[in-house]
Structure 1
Amino acid sequence: MKQTMQAAYLPGNSTVVLKEVDIPVPGHGEVLIKMKSSTICGSDIRAIYREHLGKGPEGYQNKICGHEPAGQIVKCGPGLRRFKEGDRIIVYHISGCGVCNDCRRGYMISCTSPYRRAYGWQRDGGMAEYLLAEEKDLVLLPDELSYTDGAQVACGFGTVYEGLEKIGICGNDAVLVVGLGPVGLAACMLTKAMGASKIIGVDTVRERVDIAIDKKLVDHAFVTDDQAISKILALTGGMGVERAVDCSGHTSGRQLAVRATRKWGKIVLIGEGGTMELNPSPDLIHEQKTIYGSWVTNIWRMEELVERIVRWGIHPDQLVTNRFTLDQASDAFALMAGGKCGKVAVVFDEEIK
């Protein structure tokens, strides 16, 4: 007789549907993971929860949702080479073909093969009691970190770390973070850990600014207005920041990130969607600025980030402002969709606080 579990699906009309489904059995090279924490990403809200807007890599195919999973291996299929029953793990949330150029670089996010399937999008994700995953998609979670720390790394923190590595962060840098949602808060926490000399955060939502200040992630933060550039210049001796990170995904936020950056500075765009209107000569060319685009991260850098987080003594789960159980998933997604909170997590067993 097959055993069943509870699992969450997103029909696309700003609701969550809970279903009873069979617990999967791991095959060759696969593991069955007892879920411990699964956090909600803004991409879930943008492309699946409200309505199914995603196509291609973001094409939701009526699977169990959740692409930020962490848990413990409880059953192994044959043919495993590294991981074993009892291991605490994070799931890199894109399962690529494994043999294309991008996959061989570790960037399964950029795999264009028809074999590419993202957890929570084209294959079952982490909003269930158990998750079936391929061994090649796993990252070991050290005992020093909680499962909710790990779930944060699975997408949000990994995505931010990739972007920060592209622009480089050190003690010489004043850093502007535009957009203080969960990704922006992660950017503040990581830039601080990486030694930035000054962190300035802006957002259009007062509650998000307050979270950044309350959690001591920034040196200065304010609700953006038409005086935002002047305020940032005043905080940087009239020069502007050396590095800027846009997590807003909005043209106004991106313009602010570029124009508040000083000559020879670097900007990374992480926030998805929207447009970007600039005046290339005054905004970029004459100022010798560089803009980077950054999409998720690669799996080896995710392993590196886990090591760094332990070394830095930080905990991504501190950015989780609200925790829910799986049967409360509807409330969890509704809160996240409201845009006035930090990170939202669906937690299981010992992660329930």
Structure 2
Amino acid sequence: MRAAYLPGNRTVDLKDVPVPTPGHGQVLLRMRASTICGSDLRAIYREHLGTGPEAYQDVVGGHEPSGEVVAVGPGVKERAVGDRVVVYHISGCGLCEECRKGYQISCTSPMRAAYGWQRDGGHADFLLAEEADLLLLPDNLTFLDGACVACGFGTAYEALCRLDVSGRDRLLVVGLGPVGLAAGLLARAMGVTEVIGSDPSPERRQIAERLGAVTTQVDESLPVEQVGADASVDCSGAGAGQLAALRGTRRWGRVALVGEGAELTVDVSEAIIHRQLTLHGSWVSSTVRMAELLDRLSRWELHPSVVVTDTFGIESAADAYALADSGRTGKVGITWD
């Protein structure tokens, strides 16, 4: 099978490797869609961080997979050949407190392994997955929808739930890349009528406006300090963006920081304490929350794939990564017929 590896230095290495055989409790998926995440770009495509949960172990890339079950190993209890599934992209130990809550993303065991980071991910014709990591994809959602949920939409939904947004709120979304677009679209579906968007990229601002992910843009006529949002979410992963989310939030407001990879220098007393802000650090999502999101997307008839602006075949994975790295598009995906 064809498989894409990420050796760093903005390169993609496409190899032919054997199709894996499922072991106990495992299933083999024929990949149908696998999208590219900003974390892949930041921490693997451009460089290798090498330590902690982002340590890349020279495995097949891609942690946003969706596909069809084509074989099951011994001990598989619920999944069957033909099932359409989304892969929750972290395999946890299943025993620690975090795993028992469904937050395998925060698994504290050395056994923790993320698809595309410490175990083979979705940028290949087939993927070997643990049954426990699979979520059923509703019939009215596409495989590309599922791939978008596997990380990006799941991450955005978790943050919005932490903020407890509703129709009462004015929401500020800082960073209108794929996660920011997801946050705006989901917030609108959850009843928020006013979503203010901020991004330095004119292309991304245009995409957000076209999709209806935002109702207003931060610009010269509306500086971020004058937004006065009830709740804000930073999806930029930049210190300046995180600071903008804090400054754009009214007193007694709520802020969720989602974008990773930045350092934030701030006068804590002035920016947070004296303004009585509630600050959330929100890291991906739980399997419980992701299953809830899939059900709601199905009922809302909201297709996450609307944020995908470009798709490529696996043979063009290098082109897909180069385009995603440009920072001018929406979500970029790898798909199979």
Scaled by the length of structure 1, the TM-score of the pair is 0.93
Within 5 Å, give how 1:215-234 maps onto structure 2.
215-222=211-218, 228-230=223-225, 232-233=226-227
1:262 shift after superposition: 1.0
Equivalent runs, 1:295-334 vs 2, <5 Å: 295-334=283-322
Deviations 1:227-251 (A, max 9, x none): 6225x43xxxxxx110100011222
Deviations 1:193-250 (A, max 9, x none): 111120000101111111101112111124x5696225x43xxxxxx11010001122
Extract unaligned runs of 5+ from structure 1: 234-239
Asked if 1:58 corresponds to 2:46, the answer is no
How far apart in 1 are the matches of 2:109 and 2:40?
22
* 1:340 corresponds to: 328
Q: Tell me whether 1:211 sits opposite 2:207 in the alignment.
A: yes
SS state at 1:10 partner: strand
Alpha-carbon offset, residue 50 of structure 1: 1.0
Cα offset for 1:253? Answer: 1.2
1:141-165 superposed Cα distances (whole Å, 9 cap, x missing partner)? 0111000100011001111111111
Rounded to whole Å, the distance in 2 between the matches of 1:72 and 1:255 is: 42
1:98 matched to 2:117? The reply is: no
For the residues of structure 1 that align with 2:101 and 2:15, how far apart are their CA atoms?
37
> 1:266 is matched with which residue?
254
TM-score, structure 2 length as denominator? Answer: 0.97
- Offset at 1:281? 2.5
Change (3 A) 1:251 1:226: farther
Map of 1:108 onto structure 2: 104
Q: Count the aligned residue pairs.
A: 337
1:228 is matched by which residue type in structure 2?
P
Structure 2: where are the runs of 5+ without partners?
A: none
Counterpart residue type for residue 286 of structure 1: H
Question: Given that residues 212 and 221 in structure 1 are in contact (C-alpha distance below 8 angstroms), is that contact kept between their aligned partners in structure 2?
Answer: no
SS in 1 for 2:7: coil
Deviation at 1:54, TM superposition (A): 4.2
* Identity percentage of aligned residues: 54
- Where 2:283 maps in the other structure, the secondary structure is coil
Which residue does the alignment assign to 1:158? 154
Matches within 5 A, 1:173-212: 173-212=169-208
Query: Which residue does 1:246 correspond to in 2?
Result: 234
Paired AA for residue 229 in structure 1: V
Q: Residue 277 of structure 1: which of 265, 287, 290 is its match? A: 265
Q: Distance in 2 between matches of 1:29 and 1:264?
A: 47
User: Alignment RMSD, CA only?
Assistant: 1.3
Specify the alignment match of 1:237 in structure 2.
none
